[in-house]
Structure 1
Amino acid sequence: MSPAQENGRPNPWPRRLGWLVVAAAVFAVAGGVGALVRHNNANKLQIPVGAVGPRGLALPANGSPGVTLTLFEDMRSPETRAFQHTYGAALNRLVDAGLVKIQYREIAGVDRAQGGTGSLHAANALACAQNAKDFLSYRRVLLAHQPAASDDAFGSNAYLIKLAKRVHGLDTDVFRACVDKGDYRVWARTSTDAFVQQYPNQSTPVLELTKGSLDETLVPGQGGQAITPDALVDRVVAVALGRPSASATPSPSPSKAAAKSKKKHKAGADPTATAGASASATP
């Protein structure tokens, strides 16, 4: 007999043990619910502030209504950086003239081709910067510090946050948490999947022009026929003003280009001639 029973008092341990069992069960349920919530959040499509276009996959829409230019880009792609070097000034001229609005689609194509997560993490960080209204400034920083395509430096959130210090006011607790948690990785994957469906045999950069029912591909990705910056400006101005273009012919869609190439091949044309010319003209 226990001392408590000898003194006529009830033994408190059975009751305490019961409460401990109940508490343990409550914590287990709470932990399971928390894990489920975290799993759902990790797979939920979150849209950055101010995102535009179908499913909010484009960032941002700067410029004036009229002609819309959509640039599909990959922060890990050297060709994306080369595109900015070649066409950046021309695009700025068009925006300043009030003829176009430009929107950007972030794609994680290099990750799929070479492995790693740099494209995905950089796209997520850009969406976080968009929330802080610093997308364009941070985009310039990422392109200026782009590593070699074989170097997955952008796969490090710490490095992406370090680069954010180069944009005044961007390196905040909110931005860091957004980058570290990967709030927009699902968004970046969704954008990438949609791009692959639309351009199954192409890689970034791709530049689309749209106005009303008109939809053209001006820069059709790597290996496509290049267009000069002046010709691009001429084509956009022509569409904006509703007049014929004097110096630019819209690039055919990827499917039409492939059919044309196949026809030439059957006719006995050298299949490497066109490829070589395209490669040398690619910016």
Structure 2
Amino acid sequence: MPQASAPERVPRGAPPDGDGVAIGGGPVVVDAYIDFQCPFCKQFEETAGPALDRLVASGLATVVFHPMAFLDRLSTDHYSSRASASSGCAADGGRFVPYARALFAAQPPEGGPGLTDEELVDVGDSVGLADPAFARCVVARTYLDWSAYVTFTAGRRGVAATPTVLVDRAPVPANPRAITTAVTALSR
């Protein structure tokens, strides 16, 4: 159930308000609201992911990923919530971005079951999350409350679809050119 207050535990790399995972340390903040069940988010990752990597690597931007459970209703086993929670476990292991990319690559179709918890662990293993702590975190669903909080907070901010991208809190089209242009303009 969505909650208004921050959960007791947030993943490593969470911003001060706890509703995502921050990558990089650049001055311009890019907020990316995603759902691992969302086909458009998969397309966003495939097209914009390299541009986001470049913005972080160049020191221009901090990208805050907000893995929402927006599409739970389109799976039979709350896959969006479980995938979001497992991404928190990946953040604890320092592998959020490669894990998120691997989840999108393994994205199940809408309307049925998502990956099982064991398959979520296997996805982690494929990107270097072989530490048993990761598997325990996923199977225990440690970050389900965090996932609900991320989703609740996004809704409170007016996010009604995924992917949604904000650059310094201003909405921009979820494509690499628009994001890069907005970040570059704010960096001058």
Given the alignment of the two structures, is residue 209 of structure 1 paired with residue 167 of structure 2, yes or no? Answer: yes
5 Å-filtered alignment, 1:74-93, equals: 74-93=35-54
Q: Which residue does the alignment assign to 1:10?
A: none
Q: Which residue does the alignment assign to 1:262?
A: none
Superposition deviation, residue 82 in structure 1: 0.8
Q: Which has the higher helix share?
A: 1
5 Å-filtered alignment, 1:97-246, equals: 97-112=58-73, 116-154=77-115, 156-168=116-128, 170-199=129-158, 202-210=160-168, 215-219=169-173, 228-241=175-188
**Partners in 1 of 2:93 and 2:165 — Cα distance?**
26
Aligned residues: 182
Superposition deviation, residue 78 in structure 1: 0.5
Q: Which residue does the alignment assign to 1:24?
A: none
Q: What's the TM-score once normalised by structure 2's chain length? A: 0.88
**Partners in 1 of 2:152 and 2:14 — Cα distance?**
17
Give 2:126's aligned amino acid: R
Superposition deviation, residue 61 in structure 1: 2.8
Give 1:138's aligned amino acid: Y
**Partners in 1 of 2:175 and 2:78 — Cα distance?**
32
Give 1:157's aligned amino acid: D
Structure 1 unaligned blocks of 5 or more: 1-43, 220-226, 242-283
Q: Which residue does the alignment assign to 2:22?
A: 60
**Partners in 2 of 1:184 and 1:86 — Cα distance?**
28
Superposition deviation, residue 151 in structure 1: 3.0
**Partners in 2 of 1:138 and 1:231 — Cα distance?**
25
The CA deviation string for residues 176-195 of structure 1, in whole angstroms up to 9 with x for no partner, is 11111111100000111111
**Partners in 2 of 1:178 and 1:74 — Cα distance?**
20
CA RMSD, 1 decimal: 1.8
Superposition deviation, residue 107 in structure 1: 0.2
Q: Which residue does the alignment assign to 1:48?
A: 11
CA 1:68/1:136 → structure 2, altered by over 3 Å: closer, same or farther?
A: same
Give 1:206's aligned amino acid: T
Runs of 4+ in structure 1 over 4 Å off: none
Superposition deviation, residue 115 in structure 1: 5.1
Aligned residues with identical type, % of pairs = 25
**Partners in 2 of 1:159 and 1:238 — Cα distance?**
42
Give the SS at the match of 1:196: helix
Which structure's relative contact order is higher, taking Cα pairs within 8 Å and 6+ residues apart? 2
Q: Which residue does the alignment assign to 1:3?
A: none
Structure 2 unaligned blocks of 5 or more: 1-6
Which shifted more, 69-78 or 189-198?
A: 189-198
